[in-house]
Amino acid sequence: MTELHQLPDSDATPTTGELALDDRASLQRVAGLSTELADVTEVEYRQLRLERVVLVGVWTSGTAAEAKASMAELAALAETAGSEVLEAVIQRRSRPDASTYLGSGKAEELRQIVVATGADTVICDGELTPAQLTALERVVKVKVIDRTALILDIFAQHATSREGKAQVSLAQMEYMLPRLRGWGESMSRQAGGRAGSNGGVGLRGPGETKIETDRRRIRERMAKLRKEIRGMKTARTVKRAQRRRGGVPALTVVGYTNAGKSSLVNAMTGSGVLVQDALFATLDPTTRRAELADGHEVVFTDTVGFVRHLPTQLVEAFRSTLEEALHADLLIHVVDGADAFPGKQISAVRQVLSDVFAEEGASPPPELLVINKIDAVDATRMTALRGEYRDAVFVSAKTGEGIGELFGRITEFVAAGDVEATLEVPFARGEVMARLHAHAHVLDTEHTASGTRVRVSMPEAIAAEYADLVVDGD
Ligand SMILES: Nc1nc2c(ncn2[C@@H]2O[C@H](COP(=O)(O)OP(=O)(O)OP(=O)(O)O)[C@@H](O)[C@H]2O)c(=O)[nH]1
Ligand SMILES: [Mg+2]
């Protein structure tokens, strides 16, 4: 049995007519594809600028509360993309309908809601096949997009760095590639007015040839982008290698979008990383140095947030930024403690990471779970969270509560990797002593005829650098 749940009440303003035609026309505006490929992202994604939207989800498994939470997240995503959410509906069925996602009856009901609210776009909470999108569009007569396109759109709006922009373009093209055919068909109808002219072997119409050309050009553009991104990645690898030679432990902050990763990095380093109550505020990994109370220097890298059903195109595109996580000495996994289902967020994040690690054949670094926003959690929930996440650190980036303990845990971790050794430092190497005082624990000092004999506990990387000075190591 399927049932359409309408969450809020709809205010009926049934005036319709032109919106259908308008939106159909706009969807075909792929004409830009044929002229300049530079237009591809521009044309298609300008198109997705959403304004008044109706959300629709198919609830296949899990509790009603989980289904609602997923829709609430879709609403937050839609708002982040700049649209106004008019209505949200969930349909309960065992699996999405193969042809229209909702099934024809429910699609017709959705059409009524669209008309009543005056929406210009429907956003589906899932990834739809190109055919499903087209079929549903035919019924509701406004633009239909899926969660993947929505997230890609947000990333496109937020990307600022050259690398971020290149990665988003790449992801968009990958998403578009299999969707070119449908558009091409309508284009060829538009051009020649002979439906079916590209309908079979030996009957290739101008549309199909064009699609092939477009596909080839998109593939070429993608190859070029991949190459550019590889170049940018090299620059980052070099920087990372430099940091490591300095013996500075790398702490990468990962977590679900809006968990408070950037806020936490700010709270720990006193730097002004962008914080926003929007999903995917951070798209470029940002690195900040900080000194722990015991003098150890560390670097924190703030990363892109994750979301359930992160489009695979984006995982692929952002692989190079995720590598910051891959090469971390410690993952600081930030969780929004005030979220209704923190466990779901945690598993979504771990899933993406483990996929990346598996593909790279790397073993994941140790993880420190940090439950954030405890200022917004009541006592009962707090007890439950403490019971469930016993090894986690509980903090509030907002009030500063727990930040001291977090530093303590990090210091403990960093110091655990230290090695103890006795070095004989000649007088001529004054810089070594300065460095040891700054970045290691000098346990004992003894002056000799030729220099200083020091017993130190230090990061492994520093010990490796001064291997020639070691007289007694362990
Ligand atoms: N109440 C409360 N709000 C917080 C806390 N930490 C962060 N926030 C808020 O949560 C929202 C998201 O914070 P960000 O630091 O931007 O989160 P993020 O994980 O970096 O998000 P993205 O970069 O978008 O993935 C902002 O509105 C913050 O003010 C906290 O400890 N308590
Ligand atoms: Mg952020």
Residues in CB range of 316: below 8 A, 6 or more apart: 171, 174
Q: Which SS3 state, helix, strand or coil, does residue 84 take?
A: strand
pLDDT at 378: 95
Burial 130-165 (b: 16+ CB within 10 A, else e): eebbbbbbebbbbbbbbbbbbbbbbbbbbbeeebbb
Ligand nearest to the CA of 310: 1
Contact 185, 207 (CB under 8 A): yes
Q: Is the CB of 254 under 6 A from ligand 1?
A: no
pLDDT at 41: 41
pLDDT at 283: 56
pLDDT at 3: 45
162 CA from centroid of ligand 1 (Å): 25
Q: Rounded CA gap, 120 and 302, in Å? A: 36
Name the residue of 80, 275, 375 to mutate for ligand 1: max ligand atoms within 8 A of Cβ: 275
pLDDT at 34: 30
189 CA from centroid of ligand 1 (Å): 49
Burial 337-351 (b: 16+ CB within 10 A, else e): bbbebbebbbebbbe
Instruction: Report the nearest-CA residue for atom 27 of ligand 1.
Output: 277
Nearest to residue 472, comparing CAs of 450, 461, 449, 456?
A: 456
pLDDT at 12: 33
Domains of the chain: 3-158 (3.40.50.11060), 247-414 (3.40.50.300), 418-473 (3.30.70)
Contact 299, 410 (CB under 8 A): no
Residues in the chain: 474
Q: Is the CB of 261 under 6 A from ligand 1?
A: yes
Q: Rounded CA gap, 286 and 301, in Å? A: 5
Instruction: Report the nearest-CA residue for atom 30 of ligand 1.
Output: 373
Q: Rounded CA gap, 112 and 290, in Å? A: 56
Q: Is the CB of 260 under 6 A from ligand 1?
A: yes
Task: Classify strands 393-394 and 330-336 as parallel, antiparallel or unpaired.
Answer: unpaired
pLDDT at 338: 95
399 CA from centroid of ligand 1 (Å): 12
Q: Rounded CA gap, 410 and 10, in Å? A: 51
* Residue ranges for the chain with pLDDT beneath 50: 1-3, 6-47, 182-200, 203-204
Instruction: Report the nearest-CA residue for atom 10 of ligand 1.
Output: 260
ipTM of model: 0.98
Name the residue of 154, 276, 401 to mutate for ligand 1: max ligand atoms within 8 A of Cβ: 276
pLDDT at 240: 67
Instruction: For 178, list phi and psi in degrees, rounded to 5.
Output: -75, -10
Instruction: Report the nearest-CA residue for atom 9 of ligand 1.
Output: 260
Ligand nearest to the CA of 395: 1
Q: Which atom of ligand 1 lies nearest, measured to the CA of 282?
A: 23
466 CA from centroid of ligand 2 (Å): 38
176 CA from centroid of ligand 2 (Å): 27
